[in-house]
Structure 1
């Protein structure tokens, strides 16, 4: 291996950060980075070491219970002077002559010009997709209850949203968009995030249910999300390849495949992974379209964006906004040329074919969404999401002063306990939310230090010139901006901007490409080794344990957090299925714990008539037990007090504990 080996992620020839006019500043910039990082990291490390057992030697305390977000990078930073001055002690002819050319951007351009298949790139992309699928499977295999040997994948979903998406998928599998509410006691079956106004339907947009439905019918709903992660990794590799070569795509895809945040969300039945399927397809096809001006590429990009819109429309809009602005600029330029009467037929074709390709699937998607809305709310302009918020959770409304505005629209159907969870969004809270989301997106994608460094390096090396990389960076900013008016910072403090994770992987790959090119030109090859070691350290702390240095990985930490509420749902389901004194058919009324608003056991399939066991809300003022027995004469009534963990049976006069 020699110094040239590390230019495998080299940028286009126009990008030369080590030009003679600027190379004299490079050592000083490096020194500034080292000093800045030391200034940032030393207080954290000093505080950590002094919080350990002071009777132990100082060095023992330093290596005991390290902070995985700071300590590995502090140690690597101490080696940076050696890496700056020492030569690389060995060479690799295979890397220099075989692997390096195939990772370069020049290789990709040659293949594109010749119209040839890149078997090397295809092989890498498939291996990355398989790696993503494998990590998702491995995450589901984590044991979260050693006594019963339960893995994460053995447990039922826990988030309210997951059950709503399952409700939606089950509804679609029956060939419908909704089911009728119960005719005599509809309020009894109010399910969180499920509209129940004459028709029962998920409040959410239909894309996620459409993605989930075939895998649910197959009996393996999580496989659909593991596949979604693999598809996302696959297309982000090809996006990175389009922007900077196979090396960039490889590194970006590897980060996405091994990201702890991606791994845990691939085991949550939420909208994010289906959304990423659409967005990854959109990004790759749009980048191709910029090069080819092809109607086909634009049409594929439109299909991807449309599907993402049908899953998470605000996210799709935020992700695509910079690309839409770029396209609008091309239209304005064409109009300007036309006014000057200097445009050609080719120019017009290059502008309007991509516009048409994008517009057709988007228009079809909006029309389909109009019909979907109309089938549930009675108006194509009224979304189930909007109607649900208005009726049940008005304090959760989008925008500033959400609580103040929501309290002016309180009605009789408000889910009071859940609705009061909302905080009033003020500018101060919005700033705090943005900070939380930003740091969490770095932390759960790769790491705060590596991605923070990559972001700074990207800004320092790219600001002087325009490139398509700015669209990627602008997409990250846009996703944060459109979600500022949400009062909640999100699951794990970042789920509203979860889709920035793969974009950060691309930015990291671009920064790595630039640094390797720079270090090659100034003959500092060991700096590339140090950077690769930093990536390895991030991946190890994210996914593995190494006692006594660190006893739990980032992934295991979040797996245990998710498992906590899942175990509660598992125990509840076990009670329903195996309690010897529960007779079927039954109606189990639930008095929820008012101190735990995030655990709600009222979860039923859409077709209430076909279920042996129904769960309902305990509403004694509205539906006294005697009246319920008349409404459900064939069912035995039970009451579960979640706060007391107590089960009772209605004997016709009063509740009898069992």
Structure 2
């Protein structure tokens, strides 16, 4: 029985390695894949070649400025008939006798049965974690401004959300969940994604701030995210190993470790990496619990899911939903088997310790979240996230017709420019968002072609059998469905379903295992090599540039996109802290550029006691003279973002100083 089929054996299918006798269908299916892929890729390649300089030879135009999402795979596809029909003897005694056995599920089951430690697996898991950490560091070292020799890691955060999480971490480091709003002029300190209703507090759930806090105190917040990426890759290896052996775990872990999307998000202080720490622990421990029926493994799974919930509740719930359904079926099955006296608790193993192990950490997490909500909103049932949306961004509400519903609840404190960014969610927009999220999740995890192909092959090879792999696939589907009722498709068209990345890596590794078994049994060794080349090409185009074939990697493209916002914040911070004519202590009011709703410079520490405070220009509520009386010990300045102009209040009018 294959390892991934616990607790029941799988029936064989025509494409299963266990049914190589029926291999007459395999050449036909391979041919069908080649024809379909050629039909998809050829028009893109034809248009690309014809758009180049027509005076150049055709072959030169084909290899010039290739489309990294299509051209390499088109070339490999043209080579596939050759790889199918040529069957050279390829044999490595060392690989076949030493390495290959250690990559199989049989090796893992033997170790589990004998309760021996698998040092080979430990080495592989550390390799995977180190690869992830080093890629995060390498991504941070990308130079994004040649003139100033500034790397990505030298710049401040890019997104409003990141500053809110830093605000939350600093609040926790002070031993509090919130700070009082400014007593005299609270409105000028309205910060995006920070509640300011008598209490200053991040709108977000506490898990991310808790993860960030020690690294913020250490002075290196990004190190916490590099570590989170390494931990995620580490547990994805062990989850893949639990499902189907060390080989599957290694490939899945390396795909996540070398994913360009994971690399860029490990350099953004968002909630996703801490969430994945919890969810990857949950995934591995739950899969292990299915095999061991152990309360300890259930408790570990519950701890991971509880932490993921404290970071991104809806994501954690949708990720875990298929596993929860499996556990519910187990409870029902156990109950009826006990009732019919067909089995005993000793022969089957009681399911209740598993439920208790999962429920205890989740219950503790929910109680902690209730107390956290109570401390900020005054009601344990009212989340800061929900309260912030109601007050400041009602058009951003979850669900269809969000703009129409939100406009019926507009209040005096709505951040009008940012709130109007929302589009009204209709079925057509929702369908477009789903498409964008699916394509982006494939693109930024490994590649659209390799992962799309793997998804299709997975459905073909697995559809007639029950295995735990369907829980992995169902979790992907569940994450997408849960985010259908939201109008925005996400950062990079992806971040709402970012957590599908490790799941796609596992699916790809599973399909690779299946195909290698099939090709080995029908003696097509070059096909395995071709698939390995496809994987390698995806990694190379994601992370490297090879002129003149392609001049920029996917990772570098997204690094430069993210660096744009980071650099604007960097320039503003350089100006206010190094400008020779800004005398501290100071209050700098910002008149934001209405055409740039995604850059907001009002960012302060939660105590509002730093030497330079940043405030929002609100002349309708506070004149400069009134602010001077409210802040008598501070010099007043006004920064006009649209004009890039700084002025000083001289007691009578704003006097430009640059």
Please give the TM-score of this superposition, normalised by the length of structure 2: 0.97
For 2:580 and 2:453, locate their aligned partners in 1 and report how far apart those are by CA, in whole Å: 59
For 1:342 and 1:103, locate their aligned partners in 2 and report how far apart those are by CA, in whole Å: 38
RMSD: 1.4
2:17·2:521 contact (CA, 8 Å) conserved in 1?
A: no
Q: Does 1:654 align with 2:653?
A: yes
Match of 2:252 in 1: 252
What SS does the aligned partner of 1:563 have?
helix
Post-superposition offset of 1:347: 6.1
Match of 1:631 in 2: 630
For 1:210 and 1:360, locate their aligned partners in 2 and report how far apart those are by CA, in whole Å: 20
For 2:90 and 2:339, locate their aligned partners in 1 and report how far apart those are by CA, in whole Å: 62
What SS does the aligned partner of 1:262 have?
helix
2:394·2:409 contact (CA, 8 Å) conserved in 1?
A: yes
Match of 1:156 in 2: 156
Equivalent residues in 2 for 1:564-643, closer than 5 Å: 564-608=564-608, 610-643=609-642
Q: Does 1:38 align with 2:32?
A: no
1:10·1:516 contact (CA, 8 Å) conserved in 2?
A: no
Decide whether aligned partners of structure 1 residues 516 and 10 sit closer, same or farther in structure 2, where only a CA change above 3 A counts: farther
Match of 2:366 in 1: 366
2:87·2:525 contact (CA, 8 Å) conserved in 1?
A: yes
Match of 1:392 in 2: 392
For 1:299 and 1:10, locate their aligned partners in 2 and report how far apart those are by CA, in whole Å: 22
Post-superposition offset of 1:334: 1.6
Partner deviation per Cα, 1:265-321 (whole Å, 9 max, x = no partner): 000000000000000000000000000000000000000000000000000001000
What SS does the aligned partner of 2:88 have?
coil
For 2:22 and 2:214, locate their aligned partners in 1 and report how far apart those are by CA, in whole Å: 56
Decide whether aligned partners of structure 1 residues 352 and 455 sit closer, same or farther in structure 2, where only a CA change above 3 A counts: same
2:225·2:273 contact (CA, 8 Å) conserved in 1?
A: yes
2:5·2:467 contact (CA, 8 Å) conserved in 1?
A: no
Equivalent residues in 2 for 1:28-177, closer than 5 Å: 28-177=28-177
For 1:29 and 1:202, locate their aligned partners in 2 and report how far apart those are by CA, in whole Å: 54
Decide whether aligned partners of structure 1 residues 632 and 137 sit closer, same or farther in structure 2, where only a CA change above 3 A counts: same
For 1:422 and 1:198, locate their aligned partners in 2 and report how far apart those are by CA, in whole Å: 27
Match of 2:415 in 1: 415
Post-superposition offset of 1:595: 0.2
2:479·2:497 contact (CA, 8 Å) conserved in 1?
A: yes
Post-superposition offset of 1:475: 0.2
1:9·1:248 contact (CA, 8 Å) conserved in 2?
A: no
For 1:359 and 1:44, locate their aligned partners in 2 and report how far apart those are by CA, in whole Å: 51
Match of 2:215 in 1: 215
Partner deviation per Cα, 1:99-134 (whole Å, 9 max, x = no partner): 000001100000000000000000000011001000
Match of 1:3 in 2: none
Unpaired segments ≥5 residues, structure 2: none
What SS does the aligned partner of 2:351 have?
helix
For 1:26 and 1:619, locate their aligned partners in 2 and report how far apart those are by CA, in whole Å: 70
Post-superposition offset of 1:350: 2.6
Partner deviation per Cα, 1:466-506 (whole Å, 9 max, x = no partner): 00000000000000000101100000000000000000000
For 1:253 and 1:266, locate their aligned partners in 2 and report how far apart those are by CA, in whole Å: 16
1:9·1:516 contact (CA, 8 Å) conserved in 2?
A: no
For 1:590 and 1:346, locate their aligned partners in 2 and report how far apart those are by CA, in whole Å: 69
What SS does the aligned partner of 1:350 have?
coil
1:11·1:517 contact (CA, 8 Å) conserved in 2?
A: no
For 1:350 and 1:454, locate their aligned partners in 2 and report how far apart those are by CA, in whole Å: 37
Post-superposition offset of 1:348: 7.4
What SS does the aligned partner of 1:408 have?
helix
What SS does the aligned partner of 2:195 have?
strand
For 2:5 and 2:95, locate their aligned partners in 1 and report how far apart those are by CA, in whole Å: 18
Match of 2:319 in 1: 319
1:10·1:517 contact (CA, 8 Å) conserved in 2?
A: no
2:20·2:518 contact (CA, 8 Å) conserved in 1?
A: no
1:397·1:406 contact (CA, 8 Å) conserved in 2?
A: yes
Post-superposition offset of 1:651: 0.5
For 1:349 and 1:98, locate their aligned partners in 2 and report how far apart those are by CA, in whole Å: 36
1:261·1:444 contact (CA, 8 Å) conserved in 2?
A: yes
Q: Does 1:275 align with 2:275?
A: yes
What SS does the aligned partner of 1:264 have?
helix
For 1:23 and 1:90, locate their aligned partners in 2 and report how far apart those are by CA, in whole Å: 21
Post-superposition offset of 1:343: 4.2
Match of 1:285 in 2: 285
Post-superposition offset of 1:10: 11
Decide whether aligned partners of structure 1 residues 597 and 142 sit closer, same or farther in structure 2, where only a CA change above 3 A counts: same
Decide whether aligned partners of structure 1 residues 11 and 317 sit closer, same or farther in structure 2, where only a CA change above 3 A counts: closer
Post-superposition offset of 1:90: 3.7
For 2:501 and 2:344, locate their aligned partners in 1 and report how far apart those are by CA, in whole Å: 41
Post-superposition offset of 1:340: 2.3
Partner deviation per Cα, 1:179-218 (whole Å, 9 max, x = no partner): 0000010000000000000000000000000000000000
Post-superposition offset of 1:649: 0.3
Decide whether aligned partners of structure 1 residues 379 and 347 sit closer, same or farther in structure 2, where only a CA change above 3 A counts: farther
For 1:605 and 1:90, locate their aligned partners in 2 and report how far apart those are by CA, in whole Å: 63
Partner deviation per Cα, 1:344-373 (whole Å, 9 max, x = no partner): 133675310100000000000000000000
For 2:648 and 2:290, locate their aligned partners in 1 and report how far apart those are by CA, in whole Å: 67
Partner deviation per Cα, 1:368-407 (whole Å, 9 max, x = no partner): 0000000000000000000000000000000000000000
Partner deviation per Cα, 1:504-557 (whole Å, 9 max, x = no partner): 000000000000000011110100000000001000000000000000000000
Aligned residues: 650
